A and B are shown apart, each in its own frame.
Chain A
Amino acid sequence: MFIPHTDADRAAMLRAVGIEKLDDLFKDVPARYRFPTLNLPTALSEMEVSRELQDISLANESVHDLVCFLGAGVYNHYIPAAIDAIIRRGEFLTAYTPYQPELSQGTLQAIFEYQSNVAALTGMEVCNASHYDGATAVAEAVNMAYANFRRKRTKIILSPAVHPQYRQTVRTYAEGSPVVLVGDDPQIDLKADPDSLIPLIDIDTALVVVQYPDFYGRIYDYTKLAEATHAMGALLAISVNPIALGLLKAPGYMNADIVTGEGQPLGIPLSYGGPYLGLFATRKEYVRKMAGRLTGETVDNRGQRAYVLTLTAREQHIRREKATSNICTNQGLMALASTVYLSLLGKNGLRQVAELCFHKAHYAAQAITNLPGYSIWSPAPFFNEFVIQTPTPVSEINDLLLDHDILGGYDLSQDYPDLSRHMLIAVTEMNTREEIDRLVEVLSEVSNG
């Protein structure tokens, strides 16, 4: 199919190599295992495979079929058509990592612009070329903080309001290292504000991790937490939703040392969980401790402005077992998508989207709390996501919503046993007033018993 050789080519090539048949190329392979029969379905033509994949995809109900109020770290935002037009270009899509800068200025300048946009959005000074997703970006923040204190500080404080899957990922990554993860004990008061973490911070603490808005959608000013963290010499990492930063004060201005985040809301499709984009920004003083690729501006031997991967001595291909991370392939194309997204929306468009999310979410929250049996869980301010206490178990409500072609909110009892009958509802610019009214109407059927 994708092999261009004719019989004549093969014969000429075998002659040039000095062998008679293709099998002769594999004499080093142990004979008793050689040439297994692979039990795979018969090969399909492009026409057949496109039909088959279409059929498989139609067994799903997408957010085009259902009205989506599900978020929990991944959001259904509008994706401008121009993004796919750019990222589908073969020159970006089918290029390798830009190790040969003379042939990769397009990718390198795009990464440089990505670094610039993310640094500006987060209020930080430097940003790497990406991690895999929001979860692994937090795990890399833990690695970096641990290495920063020369492996002497071993305590990591994780707020219980950090995404449950991010905390699980951090735990897996930490399995082989001496770091101890505290702060998200199941007994903890989930409603407490982030300052309740302050008593846990001591001189053995390397990093405190919080989320903004937090997993329950709440927004807090972490300035005081940063102060308390720095007073003990530790670092503060804030995991962000980048769309919220179109409206809300940047974490850099709260004195975060590391800002991570899930970049999916920036023009990347839901795609059932990936590929997404791990944002990672920090202060200039920590740039040599940061993992991942980094593009710097320089000049070429003709005196032109040009870009190149820099500080590569931090990375695994040079430092091998002494590198702080093994990351190699990252999310290059997704970083490009987010850069095109931010470039298209710009200052005013991003603010517009963030405000639409904010207003629509507040309209929905107000309407739902007006229903008997429903109340909002936390009085803290929120951005586009909020927790509702429900009169019956969330799974039952969601079944009913699904009957009305509505994808309900996230059932928090899956991760927090104390939060049975608590639903996390997300609203974006994609939700019309009519859709929100329909959600409220179906919820009211439950409240009326």
Chain B
Amino acid sequence: MGEPQLCDISVSGRQGINFPQPDVPLASFPEGFIRDDLPMPELSELDVIRHYTRLSQLNYSIDTGYYPLGSCTMKYNPKINEDTARYPGFAFTHPLQPIETVQGNLALMYTLQEWLKEIGGFAGITLQPAAGAHGELTGVLIIRAYHRSRSDTKRDKILIPDSAHGTNPATSAMSGLRVVEIKSDSRGNVDLDALRLECDDTLAGMMLTNPNTLGLFDEHVEEVIRLVHAAGGLVYGDGANLNALLGIIRPGDVGFDAMHFNLHKTFSTPHGGGGPGSGPVGVAAHLVDFLPAPVIGIIEEGDQEMPPLYGFITPAKSIGRMKSFHGHFGMLVRAYTYISMHGGQGMREIAEHAVLNANYLLALIKGTYHLPYNRVCMHEFVVEGQWPDAPEVHALDISKRLMDYKFHPPTNYFPLIVHEALMIEPTESESKETLDAFAETLIKIADEAHHEPELLKEAPHITPVGRLDEVKAAKELVLCCGVATLDK
């Protein structure tokens, strides 16, 4: 049986940590404000440690196994990052301290801005966005503000390829823009004819993921950007797949006007079971004035004796603030650590090996799994998880069967334009042996699909729980333990 819930193991009167007695006279509580109920669990420290340690053991993670989740860049998260982010000088500084007392933090943020500019080919950076989707919102609001600043108010349309991640259309809608989907051509590129039809004077811009979610570098990227620019629109780059491009090409050089970086993908900060992420945005020179406030700048130049004084600067036409304070600083320290350990050549080696690993894995399995777009891929690729002679087996079944072989499945059913999609991203940190073992397993599962399909349909067999009743979860909506005690 599974791990009990906190409320099941709570015993009235237990406490996992104690605090000192008050060393000041007691004040009287204001009348009518004091709560008499506080339905919190009551556990010893050992109860808590065992409970969460056991829960952790029910998880799959990069530290315990291969995690080839497409578009998620599940690379190794170096342990030194966790140490540096916890240095007391970083972890115990308050975001509203006088700048003179946090010059280390500000210098680190300033330098990281400079590095991300260099890596992405941009003129300005904001470190404020909390995640990729938050970076998208920042970038699209900047594009909107740019057009408005030129009194070009009729531009309300944003173009999004049909292979895009769902956050792109959701972001555009949140920014008050009208979404028009652009189909992909037979080689997985943006369909140029479809694009031309939409390039008119209502065009605010386009959100483009390159390499796209098929793992393909758009063969016409320069033409796509030229067409959007010629119509007066701007191009936003979704940097989710930047791991393929480090030191290979700088998005700003090709003409992307803005792009977010996912520090939790490309720059090795941990995914944490769903966050925190960090989504800095880079912009070209004509958008620097619109960046969220504040950005980190030098407010007094240094000299031989004195380092410069770093501080906050509000860009002239700033879109405002995207969140409180200065971004996910702890994640910035981790990314800074990671970039420091690589340098320029190391950046390129990351991309080269991420792309080599993907193409190697693809070469091993493409005789067994159908590849809808047969091209050299970048850091990831998408195959079909179904065979005409085994139609009852679906991508989902293959994924669940992989768990029996102690692998995390690839991303399923995305992108939407590939039938029964299995999207596989190996990352550069995996060895040839791991890729060989994974390919061998995929080939074995393909064989099972044809000869013993029930092994797939009933999988997984060895995980802590089997397939779940998702309908029951949505219908009964049990979202808290001990709900009854919460009713007033």
Contacts and interface: CB of A to CB of B under 8 A. Distances in A.
Interface in B394-451: 399-400, 403, 408-409, 414, 428-432
Interface stretch (B298-306, B385-393, B473-481): B473-481
Chain A CB within 10 Å, residue with most, of B40, B145, B376:
B40
Contact of B93 (A63, A98, A262): A63
Interface residues of A, number: 202
B333 interface: yes
A371 interface: no
B171 interface: yes
Chain A CB within 10 Å, residue with most, of B136, B275, B356:
B275
Interface in B75-108: 75-78, 80, 82-98, 101-105, 107-108
Contacts of B97: 61, 70, 407
A13 B25 contact: no
Chain B CB within 10 Å, residue with most, of A36, A72, A301, A407:
A36
A100 interface: yes
B274 A97 contact: yes
A132 B278 CA distance: 10
Contacts of B468: 101-102, 298-301, 306, 308
Contact of B88 (A57, A68, A276, A305): A57
Contact of A103 (B60, B327, B481): B60
B214 to A, nearest CB: 12
Contact of A28 (B131, B174, B219, B356): B219
B61 A92 contact: yes
B174 A176 contact: yes
A221 interface: yes
B488 interface: yes
Contact of A106 (B59, B115, B247): B59
Contacts of B340: 41, 43-44, 49, 52-53
B229 interface: no
Nearest to B105: A272
A18 B364 CA distance: 12
5 contacts: A3-B429, A50-B83, A91-B57, A272-B102, A273-B95
Given A22-B356, A299-B472, A433-B23, A93 B166 contact: no
A60 B403 contact: no
Nearest to A101: B468
Interface string B13-50: 11111111011111101101111001111110100110
Given A36-B249, A90-B64, A107-B59, A60 B347 contact: no
B467 interface: yes
Contact of A343 (B16, B94, B359): B16
B281 interface: no
Contact of A102 (B272, B292, B464): B464
Chain A CB within 10 Å, residue with most, of B88, B222, B473:
B473
B172 interface: yes
Given A9-B431, A58-B104, A136-B130, 15 more contacts: A25-B355, A56-B107, A61-B93, A96-B72, A102-B466, A112-B479, A116-B7, A123-B488, A163-B324, A172-B322, A175-B319, A272-B326, A325-B174, A331-B274, A352-B18
A6 B361 CA distance: 17
Interface string A98-128: 1011111111011111011101110101110
B88 A310 contact: no
A166 interface: yes
A378 interface: no
Given A43-B346, A358-B29, A360-B22, A253 B359 contact: no
A92 B320 contact: no
A86 B53 contact: yes
A408 to B, nearest CB: 9
A398 to B, nearest CB: 7
B442 to A, nearest CB: 15
Chain B at the A interface: mostly helix, strand, loop or mixed?
loop
Interface in A154-203: 163, 165-166, 168-169, 171-173, 175-177
A337 B278 CA distance: 18
Interface stretch (A229-237, A313-321, A441-449): A313-321
A294 B72 contact: no
Contacts of B467: 102, 300-301
Given A4-B429, A70-B94, A347-B40, A320 B33 contact: no
A2 B56 contact: no
Contact of B274 (A76, A272, A332, A353): A332
B104 A56 contact: yes
A315 B474 CA distance: 14
Interface in B1-16: 1-3, 5-7, 10, 13-16
Contacts of A166: 324
The 3 closest A-B pairs by CB, nearest first: A90-B63, A57-B89, A176-B176
A400 interface: no
B59 to A, nearest CB: 4
A43 B169 CA distance: 38
B256 to A, nearest CB: 11
Contact of B479 (A168, A246, A273, A296): A296
A233 B219 CA distance: 54
A305 B165 CA distance: 32
B334 to A, nearest CB: 10
A35 to B, nearest CB: 7
A334 interface: yes
A322 B340 CA distance: 41
A376 interface: no
B2 A305 contact: yes
A105 B465 contact: yes
Interface string A352-368: 11011011101100100
B118 A250 contact: no
A417 interface: no
Interface in B453-488: 460, 463-470, 472-474, 476-483, 485-486, 488
A291 to B, nearest CB: 10
A294 B225 CA distance: 38
Contacts of B119: 38, 40
Interface string B252-273: 0110000000001000101111
Contacts of B118: 38-40
A391 interface: no
B221 interface: yes
B235 interface: no
Contacts of A97: 271, 273-275
Contact of A333 (B59, B270, B409): B270
Chain A CB within 10 Å, residue with most, of B35, B64, B137:
B35
A434 B485 CA distance: 42
B350 interface: yes
B33 A248 contact: yes
A175 B10 CA distance: 46
Nearest to B25: A363
Contact of B360 (A17, A57, A165, A360): A17
Nearest to B28: A362
A13 to B, nearest CB: 4
Given A88-B82, A97-B271, A346 B40 contact: yes
A54 B104 CA distance: 10
A80 B488 CA distance: 32
A105 B166 contact: no
A239 B399 CA distance: 41
Interface in A402-423: 402, 407, 410
A133 B75 CA distance: 26
Contact of A275 (B60, B61, B173, B331): B331
A18 B273 CA distance: 37
A345 B363 contact: no
Contact of A221 (B33, B132, B134, B428): B33
Contacts of B222: 30
A62 interface: yes
Contacts of A9: 431-432
B163 interface: no
A93 B77 contact: yes
A345 B45 CA distance: 9
